[in-house]
Amino acid sequence: MFVRLAEQHRKFVQDLVMNLQALATVLENRGYLASCYTCGGQMNSASFMVSLGDNHLIRFLVSDYGITWTEMRDDRELMKLEGAEAISQLQELANLVKNQVKPSGYASEIVQTA
């Protein structure tokens, strides 16, 4: 049972890394400073970052050790989420990109709810 769960987790992380790479590409094509770095060819970890302007930065880290979403403005941490909450916040960002909403409005929503 544990071997199967470990393999499912590895596949989940790989899928998440591929989606982060795609999101970074889409954001770059829309004019945002975005990047997604992976270590090695196995796609078992990634560091995704995007600048939403006005010194507003999102960092999303994924690895076998965990998943975190960190949001910063003016080098100060506004919000840090882990696990499912971090992935939900990433989905919100992806939805905004999909609907072509400017992230500046998104930044205001986050500051108000944090």
b/e 25-64 (16+ beta carbons within 10 angstroms → b): eebeeeeeebbbebeeeebbbbebbbebeeebbbebbbee
Cα separation values, 70 from 37, 45, 81, 83, Å = 16, 16, 7, 12
pLDDT in tens, 5-52: 999 999 999 999 999 999 999 999 999 999 999 988 888 999 999 998
Domain region containing 64: 2-113
**Predicted TM-score (pTM) of this structure:** 0.82
Using alpha carbons only, what angle is made at residue 45 by residues 41 and 47, rounded to the nearest 5 degrees? 110
Count of structural domains, the chain = 1
